[in-house]
Structure 1
Amino acid sequence: MIFGFAAYSAAASDPTKTVGPNVCAECHKQEVAAWKGSHHFSTFRNMPRDLEASQIAKRMGVRRIKSESLCRDCHFTVQQKTTEQEAIAGISCESCHSPAKDWIKVHSSYSGKTAKTESKTEAQERWKQADSKGMIRPRAIYQLAKNCYGCHVVPREDLVNKGGHHAGSAFELVSWSQGEVRHNTWHSKGKENVPANAARKRMLYLVGLGVELETALRALSKATERKPYAFEMASRVDRARKLLAAAAKAAPNVPEISKIVEFSHSAGLKLNNESRLTAAADGISKLLERITETYDGSTMSGLDSFIPRPDKFKGAARTAADVSAPH
């Protein structure tokens, strides 16, 4: 069974609306510098040369890794050229924040003024417009997490069972978002790469677990064979719901967590159960949206013992010393 990345992604990639990271770099120089130090950036050059990737591609009948959607959808930023689609970068700005053609001018316009003269009301209206045109900002944790898990939980059964691709990364939203991909430099004008505070880490941890559960349920609902893909997805579901059950006890003032766990047990983890598994995932999705609209993490200190410490972060974040170092 083949089903694409767009089935999971909160903002399905649209090459016709991709502007590319160079456009973002015009203003976001420090953020792009952080990106260039990440595996998200280096995959553009390294993946087509990787032996394991080449072997997987061969098993899947892919002749050129950058030229077919099977690999491009998750590993590259794709832009529509005159007559064809072309991989122009690795995983980049629009992979997470959504293709920018419709929102980038609104996002960067300062309402036709400057950063100093734009009023707070005008700024709020501008951001509202950017949101309505598809921009996914850092505060939209659920939408960002959907984009992360849309690829870090592999969205194709045949890619695993036939191609031998891993079923997904050992992905956890705090440890990955606070590591090498962290680029929270805008408000300090590049002077520091600010880590998430305790409240945001709680939200990242909780919503990340919820999205992993939702994504794995949807993947299992589409599985057709008793082979590694289905077993891996069932295992991810079981692990995520156990962690969420522990989180529910640690944060009893967030009743939505217990309801998420209830939904996760409402459908059997088996093949040919698409309607019930999908219904469970849909219910979890609505609860996660409610959590992000209702809470900010400030009342969830009970989750702190579960949250990965800096030594568990995925790679090292760009520092102030990196910013000031000569190039």
Structure 2
Amino acid sequence: MKAAPFPDGTPVTIKPDPYAIIPRADFDIPGKSHGLIDVVRWRYLLNLLVRTGVTTRYRNSVLGWTWSYVRPAAQFLVFWVVLGIFMKLDHGIPNYAVYLFSGIVVINLFSEGFKNATTSIVGNAPLVRKVFLPRQLFAVSAVIVAFVHFLPQVGLLLVVCLLMGWIAHISVLSILAVLAGMIIVMVFSLGLGLFFGAVNVRFRDAENIVELMLLLATWASPVLYAWIMVQEAVVDRLHWPSWLVDLYLLNPITQGVELFHYAFWRPATEGMVSAAGYAGTELVALPPNLGWNTLWTFLIAVATLLLGQFVFRRLEGKFAQDL
């Protein structure tokens, strides 16, 4: 930078101070990340965390990946025997086994992703205390690992549906429903996982709250029963306002379950309603405004993600201190 010359004509050169021209805003606070955008920038580390989460779960296990089938199969058998046979819910819902299992896989995806994301920061406390990296990576990797464990269950569901003639009744909307259901549930579980994962670092009561929420999630969604039963109980018997049913249907987990029913159970059952044992049995009616509810529940899931990210970023600066 040149200034005005001295009176004798000698030019004056002023060297700028390299520290004086750097705005204060350019400095990063230690421990502060840039949010979920850092997950993309650190995708190599995300890949390592996912591979570690997938491979270590069944390490030193005799059955290995078979456990991905055993747990949902046992869960399905208990519910099917108790509710389908003993309580005779299968009489009102044709092909109740597929109806039940298509809902269970959604609940398992949500439960594993939400629970593991909540405990991801505390579970990786040594890394959080000693190494700077985007802490959101742990929650995101937990949800992705849950998705990987979810795939064998969907594969088993798909094989059963194919044996029932599912392929003859599917449409493009069925495929889109599967994709929409997975996205809604994963985004929603990640948002809740970020929120409760951040709170759990300081208040370990968050884990107990999450356990309670997961217990209620199975019964608060139409996994074991048909959504129409909620409408009959709320509106017809209790005479409560119908908007309570609309609110129930706007639960992202309810919507994810109904989208899987639409994609798997409905096409697989359409060819069976006229078969022996199902004569005269009608399919459960579709929930009203299924398409619009898909959009609304997606927006609710995104809003939950934004809220979880906001709380996470506000609290992450003290993670190392609290751990």
Higher helix share: 2
Bigger Rg, which one? 2
Please give the TM-score of this superposition, normalised by the length of structure 2.
Answer: 0.34
Please give the TM-score of this superposition, normalised by the length of structure 1.
Answer: 0.33
